[in-house]
Every structure is written in C-alpha cells, then in structure tokens.
Chains A and B, each alone.
Chain A
Amino acid sequence: MLATRSLLILFLGISAPWASATLPIQQWQAATGAQVYFVESHDLPILDVSVDFGAGSGTDTPATSGRAALVLRLLSLGADGLSEDQIARAIADVGAELGAYFDQDRAGIVLRTLSSARERRQALDVLARIVQHPEFPAGVMEREQQRIIAGLKEADTRPDAIADRALMQMLYGDHPYGLRGSGEIATVGALRREDLVALHHSRYVASGATVSIMGAVTREEAAAIAESLTNQLPKSAAVGAVPPVSQPLAQIRRIAHPATQSHILLAYPGLRRDDPDYFPLLLGNHILGGGGFTSRLMEEIRQKRGLAYSVSSHFMPLREQGPFEIGLQTRKEQSEEALALTRKVLKDFVANGPTERELAAARQNIIGSFPLRIDSNRKIIGYLAMIGFYKLPLTYLEDYLKRVESVTVAQIKDAFQRRIKPEGMVAVVVGAPEKE
C-alpha cells in the first residue's frame, strides 16, 4: 500500500524522471461491467469519486439539443424516493460536495466527501441512488427547463456566448459537436420526461460506466464502492459512436452588438483523443498561444501592442475532432487590426513552424511543470476519469512526458501544415464596427 507522496517522488526521479514510474493507478473491471480506476492515498481524510458515462451533448440531435445536459442536471433533483431537498440535505449534513462534468462526449457525476465512515457511507449512498435511480420528477423538470431557458435568453445577449455559439455552428454544421450543450430555447422547452428516461436507460449503463476513485480507502473498499454505484444500472451494451467531423466552409460572420469590445474567435477542426498528431499539435499550440505569457499570440497582440487583455489558442481533444480555437477581445474600433494580426501570426506559424529555441522552452515548461499537474487529489481524479473514459493506457502520463520530449520542430511544422488551414478557418466577430 503505497502513499501517493512516495510514488510521486519516485516518479520524478533524478535525471530522467518520467522514465521511472507513473501514478500508481489500479484498474479492474467490476462484476457489473463498469471499468474502475483507483489511486489509493491516505495523506488526507478525503475521498473523491467520479462516475462517467458516454452521455455528453454529442448524444443530442438538433431536435433534442439540451437533453443530455438536462439529464445530468436532474439526477440529483429526485431519486429513489428521495426528494431534491432530502438529497441536498443528506449531502450537506456530512459536508460532502456533489459536482458534475459535462462536455460533448462525457457526462460525469463527481463526489467529494470526508473519508470517515459515517460521512462516506451517507454520501456514497446518495451518489449510488442518484446515478442509478433518478426519477426526473415532472414538476422539478418543468421548473428546471424554465430556469435553463431563462439562462439561454440571457446568454443570447452576451457577446462571448453569441460568438461561441455562432462559431460552433459554423465549425461543425450538422455534426452534434456543433450543438450548444445547454440546448436551445425551443428544444429545451420541448423535451419530455420520456426523452430523459430513454437517454438515461441507453447511456447510463454499467458496461459504459467509468468509476474513478481517489483517496483514503483500501482497494477492497474501492471495489465495493464501484459495485454499489453500478450494480443497479441497466446491463445493456453501451451504444453509440460519434460521426467523424468534416471540413468546415471557410467564412467569417460579423454580428453587431452594443458592447464596447469585439469578441473575436477563429476555429478549425482539431484533435481526437487518440490522434497521431496529438503531441506535435499540443507542443505547437503551446508555442503559438497556449503557453500563457510566453506565447507568440500574447507577445504580438498584448505585450507588443496592448491590443487585448487576453488572447490565447487551444485544442480541446474529443472522441472525434474537437475544436482548435483562437480567441481574443479588443476595443471595437481596433477589432479588424487585431483580427488581421491574429491571422498573420497563425499563418506565419503554420508556414514556418516554431524555432528550436521556442520548442526547447515549451518542452522545458511542459515537462518541468508536470508535478504541478498531479499535486492534488482533485487533479488526479480528473486524470483518472479522462484516462478511463477514453480507455487511454494506464501509462498515459508517463508516455505523455516521453512523447513531449521527442517532438521535433519538423514534426510540429508538418502536423500544423497538414491539419490547420489558416485560410480555411471559420471566424466570428461579435460587436463588429458599425461601418458595415
């Protein structure tokens, strides 16, 4: 039984830290068919548990947009004979916290509790009931639909939300990744209880569940927890694949808005979780706009010219190609200048690649900061859930460092040239200058 601390020290080693060991992840399949990922650590009297399913917004259709998010939202609002207030009190009475993870691929319920017996038992009992026996009470559902719709109406007046929604529509067209996770006013309002029950029945199934456990329990206890969280889920096979993403039509949309700043976004299809270009694109992006103050976009847009407070680029890897996105905000009158400069920085980067020096600095940062990525239980359970959900190798973190170490300038340049077309980007400017 190794404590996390000693493992991490071993992990860092002395000269080639990433070569020695990795996070001590234990993995097994529960009798229910669920996949279990476990790291045991008794440093703190805390237990973190995450239960994840392939029930993200990628399961929505244009007609049911918002369904997956509503299912997740309603899990803790009535289950197995407990009312929403009984659930909330049972969790709060032991100081536990319930949270959620949601993206295009994944819906997860996340619990943090004290690991002491009474607290843990009560919190896990609630978790097991809400994951497996949500009731979707009609009155609660109707109220939550109203609240979501109110939020959507508000979002439709916010320049950042308007830009993001338009960008995803342009990038993905009819592909489900283009749907807004929280749905649309019309579609959320039209959802029926049976739609939610159907999604829960087809997607929240034991064989499709990933149970991640981090903290102060033993392996035996972890095994029992995983069983209890999944043994009453449907036994049917997990269904559904996400269709591949196709190339978008290059275009720019300028949308008027009274805000003082323009919100500028550019996007292109990016990375899959199992993408062969994952590491060259990741490293390249760090140099282009992902690496904070030392990135090219930050240097050109903010440091040299003071055009924006925030400017960055990122890849969001998903089952199929998630977005590669660049975003900034700037005073309306200078938005065209900032957009042109952003395009130029991207174009130069794709055409010429990074310098050896930039690559060395990016490598140093990513490898050197590695211990910071796993310095808390909270961060570790995030990795467990991700590794488990995408069935990545248990050596993912170790491999990550090796791969980062081996990426070359030529590989970055080649990968960007094949994968990112600066002239093919979709772009949105919300709060465009009035001259149009």
Chain B
Amino acid sequence: MRFHDRIIPLARRRTAKLAVLTAISVLAGLPGSPDALAAIHEFTLGNGLRLIVKEDHRSPVVVSQIWYKAGSIDEFNGTTGVAHVLEHMMFKGTRKVPGGEFSRRIAAAGGRENAFTSRDYTVYFQQLQKSRLPLAMELEADRMRNLVLTEEEFSKEIRVVMEERRLRTDDQPRALLYEKMVASALQAHPYRRPVIGWMNDLENMNVADARAWYDRWYAPNNAVLVVVGDVDPAQVFALAQKYYGPIKPRSLLPLGRRKPQAEPPQIGIKRITVKAPAQLPYLVMGYHAPVLRDPAADWEPYALEMLAGVLDGNESARLNRQLVREQRIASSASAGYDSTGRGPGMFYLNGIPSEGKTVADLEAGLRAEVEKLVQEGIAEEELARIKAQIVASEIFQLDSMSNQAMQIGQLESIGLSHRDIDTMLKKLQAVTAEQVREVARKYLQDDGLTVAVLDPQPLEHKPPFATPPGMRH
C-alpha cells in the first residue's frame, strides 16, 4: 500500500487466471460449505453506474473499488501513459477536497487506499471498517466529476511517473524485455504500447492531455462500483444513490462500440534481442492465442488455461520437472496465459538457462516439451491435478475480500459478467486431455511466435564489492 498505482504485469507467471473466480456451485460440493458467503447483488443507477455488492460477514470491514472502463488500450500514439498519469492526478484534489486531503481523510478513518492502471481499466480502492464506507463513497464520487487539474501539480507528478518508469521498466532488464517483446509481437493493436507509456510521450505530456482523458472517460456510465464486505446490500445501494446518483452521465462510447483494432495475423516467426546490464540471459516465447469472448460457447481459452497448468501449474508440472530438475537445462522455466481481456491474448513460455547452457538450448528444450505434449498428449492424472488446484484456489481466495472484489471487477470491466464465473468454472472442469493437446498443436506454432532474448551486458564498472569502502562524511 505504499504506492498510488500498480501496473498489472503483462505476463502472469502462474496459471489459473480464470481460477480467480468465485463459485458457490463448486463450493457447495464440499463439506463445511461456508455460510459466511452470500449471493452477489447488482444494481444499476439511473446515470448508468453499475453497483455490485457481495456480502462477506467474517470481519467488520469492507472493500470498495471503482473500476473505470478506460485503460492504456484506449490511448493514442503521442499520449501513451495518459491513463496512468491521470490515475496519479486523481489524488491531487477537488474543489471540496484539496490536494492530499483524500489520503489524509482515508488514513484518519483507519483506511487503506490505492489505485492501479492496466491495459483494460483503471481502478481506485479503499479498505476500511464497515462504518466508514460512506466516507469512501463520498470522496470517490466527488473525484469522479470534480477533479481540479493544475499545471503546477501536473508538472510535479509527471516527474514522479517518469521515476516510476525508470524504476519499473528502464532499469529492470526483464521488464524491458517484455515491453519490447509485446511491442514486436503486436503491430496494430494498442496492447503493443506499455501501460506506463513511452518515456518521450511522458516528457511531452501536458495537463491538457490529462484533462481530456478525464473528461472523456470519468463518468458513472463508464464505471462499475464493487463493494465486498460486512454490509447490507440495500444500504450500500442507498449510499451509492446518495453520492453517485447526482452525477450526470457523459456521452461516451460503451465497450462494445469502441474500435476493435484487431491485430492482423502474424505470418512468420519474429525474433528480437534486448541488451541490458545483467548477469543471466532470459528467454521469452510469446504465441498469439485467443481470449475468452463467449464464456458458454468458447472452449479454447479454457483448454489453454489447463495447458498452462499442465506445463507450469505446480512444482511437479512438466517444465519444472523436465527442464529444471531432470535435464537441468534451465535454472527456471515457466508458462503463462491471460485468458481474459479486451484485447488479444498471448501464451508465454519463458525461462533462464542454467549455467553452461544457452538460450538456444533452453528454447530447444521448451520446444521439445511442447512437441512431446502435442505428439503424446497428457495423462488424465496431470489434468485432474490442475483441476483440483483450481477448485482449491477458488476457495482459498474467499479468504480475501480484495481478491473477491477484484475478480468481479475484472470481468465486469472487460465486457463479461460476474454471472459468468459459474459457467467458467464448470467449463474448466470439463476440459479434456484431447482439448489440451489440440490447443497446444493449434497455437504453439512458429507462425504466431515471437522470441525475445535478453542479452546480458557487463556492468561497465568494476564489481562493486572489489572496491574499498567509500569515503566518510
């Protein structure tokens, strides 16, 4: 909770993003089914704001998250990063609540707060004692419409954002590799641009850019409010009506009418190299893959999710067992897949070669694992293991109110619904070994592949610990 923002990483290391979804139906099959769980309630205000409330009465606390359906996917060249910059500026005050006051009031109420921006959405959240929910709503509703954006505050905050970019990307060899890899894999789709924005765009951004973004997207009819906690849904609805109800909607494009900017098919392998100060090389192989659009009719995204699990869902999964433990080609090897999102999907394989091995050895090892899976298929036992892990992780995440709110908000913000959760879990459990093999065969092939290699460069200076201690002061 130390930062005002967090960029959701592009590639999740572990599988089971779909598995981050609640399902009472799956839980019902287990002994000791929790009665602290309750149904999900939804409301839509007259101005278009959607409110989703999930009761969790285990502790007298509440989490409130507002999700704006505007992320870096909605940006244009020249102002990349503006969604995230505006997220920073949202803490700079309104007429009623001057700069810094938002954080002070939430802190004084014993609350925690933060925000983050991703490719698909921008989210602001507070966690508090349940009695303080009205304060959070009042403050959040106020800055939905009344933000004061000044040149002076902007000029300071843009420097903070540039420091953030240096910290998280420019000086992080693997993050830099991912940034350039995605920018190479995609030619047309806006996912090719980093959420944090290109440095030159940040350097040339001005307060008018931030204001235009705010005026365009910050409106009740572009937002979903998710509240999870020890609350009464009717009371939460009344609060939302009171604080958000008076805000007029804006004329803006709903998700379904924004331009798809579909990526043209890749028709041949791409390879890039990134040189950065590091010791170990790093390899990323990214394959274009579909994402979930129709939870009831689609099957491939579920099979890809299971594929990621079979490759890397646990310590005994194929990549770790074969490449790290048995063949010792890799110091680490993993797979990842984002099954949901507004834009196109990618399936990742990545890893670090072990001492004495090269990235070429590792690439050959990863390819051999894929080939073996395509040729020989997978064992029922492997699949059952991943399914058991998904069921358990569903239940485990009920321990966190924030995670419960996150999964609802994510789905609602990308054009799916929290009501799809049930379907998604059932479909995951129904995936067959043959389907896993089929999606591996179909999508893990060279024409849709981008290979990115981190070529480690020596630090230009002597090793730091060979030098004597510095001067006293």
A367 touches B110 (CB 8 A): yes
B107 touches A291 (CB 8 A): yes
- Check if B104 is an interface residue, CB within 8 A of chain A: yes
A114 touches B392 (CB 8 A): yes
CA–CA, A112 and B393, complex, Å: 10
Among B4, B132, B396, B401, chain A packs the most CB atoms within 10 A around the CB of B396
CA–CA, A156 and B167, complex, Å: 17
Count of A-B contacts with CB under 8 A?
A: 257
> CB within 8 Å of A: which of B378-419?
384-385, 388-393, 395-396, 398-401
- Check if A95 is an interface residue, CB within 8 A of chain B: yes
Say which residue of A45, A216, A292, A364 sits within 8 Å of B110 (CB atoms).
Answer: A364
- Check if B30 is an interface residue, CB within 8 A of chain A: yes
Binds B, one of A230-238, A273-281, A308-316: A308-316
In the assembled complex, how far is the CB of residue A51 from the closest CB belonging to chain B, in whole angstroms?
Answer: 19
Chain B residues with Cβ below 8 Å from A113 are 392
A310 touches B110 (CB 8 A): no
Say which residue of B107, B129, B157, B400 sits within 8 Å of A292 (CB atoms).
Answer: B107
> CB within 8 Å of B: which of A162-189?
162, 165-166, 170
Chain A residues with Cβ below 8 Å from B472 are 250-252
In the assembled complex, how far is the CB of residue A139 from the closest CB belonging to chain B, in whole angstroms?
Answer: 10
- Check if B259 is an interface residue, CB within 8 A of chain A: no
Chain A residues with Cβ below 8 Å from B254 are none
Chain A residues with Cβ below 8 Å from B163 are 261, 306-309, 329-331
CA–CA, A108 and B378, complex, Å: 35
- Check if A383 is an interface residue, CB within 8 A of chain B: no
Known: A8-B59, A114-B392, A257-B461. A304 touches B156 (CB 8 A): yes
Whose C-beta in chain A lies nearest to the C-beta of B59?
A375
- Check if B297 is an interface residue, CB within 8 A of chain A: no
Binds B, one of A81-89, A203-211, A318-326: A81-89
In the assembled complex, how far is the CB of residue A50 from the closest CB belonging to chain B, in whole angstroms?
Answer: 15
Chain A residues with Cβ below 8 Å from B167 are 261, 309-310, 329
Say which residue of B112, B162, B355 sits within 8 Å of A372 (CB atoms).
Answer: B112
CA–CA, A315 and B461, complex, Å: 33
Chain B residues with Cβ below 8 Å from A419 are none
A42 touches B32 (CB 8 A): yes
Binds A, one of B201-209, B234-242, B274-282: B274-282
Chain B residues with Cβ below 8 Å from A42 are 32
A302 touches B110 (CB 8 A): no
- Check if A243 is an interface residue, CB within 8 A of chain B: no
Known: A260-B170, A371-B60, A375-B401. A293 touches B110 (CB 8 A): no
Chain A residues bordering chain B, tally (CB within 8 A): 91
B473 touches A252 (CB 8 A): yes
A44 touches B398 (CB 8 A): yes
B160 touches A5 (CB 8 A): no
B314 touches A91 (CB 8 A): yes
Known: A258-B459, A310-B3. A112 touches B388 (CB 8 A): no
Chain B residues with Cβ below 8 Å from A376 are 58-59, 399-401
Known: A88-B314, A253-B469. A156 touches B399 (CB 8 A): no
- Check if B33 is an interface residue, CB within 8 A of chain A: yes
- Check if A430 is an interface residue, CB within 8 A of chain B: yes
Say which residue of A45, A76, A258 sits within 8 Å of B395 (CB atoms).
Answer: A45
> CB within 8 Å of B: which of A90-111?
91-97
Chain A residues with Cβ below 8 Å from B265 are none
- Check if A147 is an interface residue, CB within 8 A of chain B: yes
The digit string for B332-363, where 1 denotes a CB below 8 A from any CB of A, is 10000000000000000000101100000000
Whose C-beta in chain B lies nearest to the C-beta of A253?
B470
Chain B residues with Cβ below 8 Å from A143 are 325, 328
In the assembled complex, how far is the CB of residue B169 from the closest CB belonging to chain A, in whole angstroms?
Answer: 10
Chain A residues with Cβ below 8 Å from B267 are none
- Check if B460 is an interface residue, CB within 8 A of chain A: yes
Chain B residues with Cβ below 8 Å from A329 are 163, 166-167
B4 touches A154 (CB 8 A): no
Say which residue of B58, B107, B171, B392 sits within 8 Å of A365 (CB atoms).
Answer: B107
- Check if B117 is an interface residue, CB within 8 A of chain A: no
Binds B, one of A55-63, A115-123, A386-394: A115-123
- Check if B164 is an interface residue, CB within 8 A of chain A: yes
- Check if B268 is an interface residue, CB within 8 A of chain A: no
- Check if B61 is an interface residue, CB within 8 A of chain A: yes
A114 touches B399 (CB 8 A): no
B61 touches A375 (CB 8 A): yes
Known: A46-B395, A368-B110, A370-B110. A255 touches B467 (CB 8 A): yes
- Check if B109 is an interface residue, CB within 8 A of chain A: yes
Say which residue of B111, B171, B393 sits within 8 Å of A261 (CB atoms).
Answer: B171
A307 touches B159 (CB 8 A): yes
B463 touches A312 (CB 8 A): no
- Check if A377 is an interface residue, CB within 8 A of chain B: yes
B91 touches A95 (CB 8 A): no
B59 touches A166 (CB 8 A): no
The digit string for B424-456, where 1 denotes a CB below 8 A from any CB of A, is 000000000000000000000000000000001
> CB within 8 Å of A: which of B90-136?
91, 100, 103-104, 107-112, 127-129, 132
CA–CA, A151 and B1, complex, Å: 27
B59 touches A312 (CB 8 A): no
- Give 7 new A-B contacts, CB below 8 A, not counting A92-B316, A119-B392, A153-B279: A12-B129, A45-B33, A85-B315, A88-B316, A93-B388, A257-B459, A310-B2
Give the 8 A-B residue pairs with the shortest CB-CB distance, closest first: A368-B110, A95-B392, A306-B159, A88-B316, A88-B315, A92-B314, A253-B470, A375-B59
Question: What would 13 A/B residue contacts be, using CB atoms closer than 8 Å?
Answer: A44-B36, A88-B316, A93-B384, A115-B32, A116-B30, A147-B332, A157-B459, A256-B461, A292-B1, A293-B4, A294-B103, A302-B160, A372-B110
